[in-house]
Amino acid sequence: MKQFTANNLKLNNPVKDFMIKDPYTAEITDNVKEAIELMVSNKIGSIIIVNSNKKPINILTRTDILKLIFFNYTDITIKDALKILKKEKVKLFTINENDPITDCIEIFVSKGIKHLPVVNSKNEVIGVISATDIIQKVSYLIFIDNLTGFGNRHYFESLKVKLHKFHGKITTGLLMLDIDNFKRINDTYGHTFGDKVLKKVAETIIDNIRFVDEAVRYGGEEFLIILFKAHQQVVLKIGERIRQAVERIRFEEHPELRVTISIGATLCLSTSNIEECIKRADLALKKAKKEGKNRVVFPPPEGTSH
């Protein structure tokens, strides 16, 4: 299961959390041909131009290079090239590594630029950031649950595309998990500790499913596990393994607490759609609760012989 690593990423995080480190630079006295070779060999879209003291003074982009090639200005210095491009007096915007990423976004939007050199307290270039870098990393915020690192309901909607792709080709197992008596845990120990329980249960789930499987935080204390290429025995085995592992969880500050989960399981066959499967798993979960909690319930889908 591919658990997200950007689960603590926030829009008030510093620029250094988003930037590309150690960007490619060229000195203003270098030849344009050297800049072209640097771009081509490293497949990059821009080069930061620095002076003899390694301070950033300009940026040369692919568009700039294309203009120079078109007018046959390739065998000249970068300094002369900037004059031809009428960029020698253009103010270079930079951003400090510790500035919030919102400041960077504001510069991109208000100035209409696509790349920003990132500098440290000595105004030395230590990175570069583009609008694409931000979009790629911020996209995680839309699709992950910040507490557990699991995909959220938005992520699950995107997963449906993958599920539909496999529809009719493989049998998929579903586990709907719910932490038993979670309201009582919150009421007794507080919501901060309740969050700790949620996070620990999520970690335990990750440790007990396969890498190819997916885990989603479906609701407050409810999780949905998608098991690809799984028959009934596999679904039951993984569900029971998770249940037992959660039952073994202990908290040093509250050794008396015993956390358990109830699990509703089902198979999603070629004749089923994902919404029907989720309904079956949810009904199985309700049955597990009614039968006393801390158990896995699997009423096989009608018509299956697994």
Q: What value does the mean pLDDT take over residues 116-124?
A: 92
Active site residue 203: no
Would you state the pLDDT for residue 156? 85
Residue ranges of E strands in the chain: 20-21, 25-27, 46-50, 56-61, 95-96, 115-119, 125-130, 172-179, 214-217, 222-227, 261-268, 296-297
Compute the distance between CA of residue 189 and CA of residue 191 in angstroms, rounded to an integer.
Answer: 7
pLDDT confidence of 167, banded at 50, 70, 90?
Answer: low
The CATH number that domain 144-297 falls under is 3.30.70.270
Asked if pLDDT for residue 2 goes beyond 50, the answer is no
pLDDT tens-place string over residues 67-97 = 999 999 999 999 999 999 999 888 899 999 9
> How high does pLDDT run on average in the chain?
87
Location of each CATH 3.30.70.270 domain in the chain: 144-297
pLDDT tens-place string over residues 272-288 = 678 888 999 999 999 99
Q: Which one has a higher pLDDT value, 31 or 12?
A: 31
Location of each CATH 3.10.580.10 domain in the chain: 15-138
Would you state the pLDDT for residue 140? 63
Structural contact between residues 76 and 130, judged by C-beta atoms closer than 8 angstroms: no
pLDDT confidence of 252, banded at 50, 70, 90?
Answer: very high
| Fold adopted by 15-138 | CBS-domain (3.10.580)
Residue ranges of E strands in 106-257: 115-119, 125-130, 172-179, 214-217, 222-227
Structural contact between residues 82 and 88, judged by C-beta atoms closer than 8 angstroms: yes
Report the predicted TM-score, pTM, of the whole model to 2 decimal places.
0.59
Catalytic residue among 88, 97, 221, 247: 221
pLDDT confidence of 139, banded at 50, 70, 90?
Answer: low
